[in-house]
Amino acid sequence: MSNRLQLILFNVDGTLVDSQASIIAVMQSTFDAIDYPLPSRLKILSIAGLSLPNAFKVLLENEDQALNEKACNAYKASFANARIHQEKLALFDGLMDVLTNLRAMPETYLGVATRESRRGLDA
């Protein structure tokens, strides 16, 4: 057996957590709050990984800066609503067993690498 340390890093959204339903729910709440038509599911999911201002430039089709800022603030407020967010989050099937087995391996450390906020990661 080797004594070499191993570090295994996981992305969160789409790797550990099936976050699509959560993203759609938060966006629905956001677009309701700014009274703007909700883009298609495909368009919403296409902005994954973008910063909020850049994501809303795409989703709002380059509307004015004031609406973009309003959307960013509404998204943050919607995201902070743990009831909306946490009800929709779930680990992929079987993943907890995989993580448990990896964690039990000597000299192996697990971590996450994500652009998610700490608040989002904790949720």
pLDDT single digits (tens) 87-97: 556 788 899 99
Please give the Cα distance from 23 to 52 (Å, whole number): 12
- In percent, the amount of the chain with pLDDT more than 90 equals 52
Average pLDDT score, the chain = 86
User: For residue range 48-68, what is the model confidence (pLDDT) as tens digits?
Assistant: 878 899 999 999 987 899 999
Give residue 29's Cα distance to chain centre.
Answer: 15
The amino acid at 5? L
Per-residue confidence at 19, pLDDT binned at 50, 70, 90?
confident
How many Å apart are CA 10 and CA 3, to the nearest integer? 22
Task: Please choose, from the candidates 1, 15, 7, 11, the residue with its C-alpha nearest in 3D space to the C-alpha of residue 92.
Answer: 15
Q: Return the pLDDT at 80.
A: 77
